Amino acid sequence: MLPKSIFSVLLWLCLTGLLLINPGAPALANLADDHYDGNIFALYAGDGSLVPPKTSLAEALRGPKPTLLVFYVDDSRDCKEYAAVVSRVQGMYVHRLNLLAVSPDTWLPQSQYTPLEPGYYYQGQVPQTVLFDGTGHKVFSQAGSLSFEQLGQAVAALFPPAS
Amino acid at 112: Q
Count of other CB atoms within 10 angstroms of residue 76: 21
pLDDT digits (tens, 9 = 90+) for 85-102: 999 999 999 899 999 999
Q: pLDDT at residue 153 above 80?
A: yes
- Assign 3-class secondary structure to 49-80: HHCCCCCCHHHHHCCCCCEEEEECCCCCHHHH
Report domain extents, the chain: 46-104+137-163
Residue 23 has, within 13 A of its CA and on its CB side, a CA count of 3
Query: Is the model's pTM score more than 0.75?
Result: yes
- Indicate the fold that domain 46-104+137-163 takes in CATH: Glutaredoxin (3.40.30)
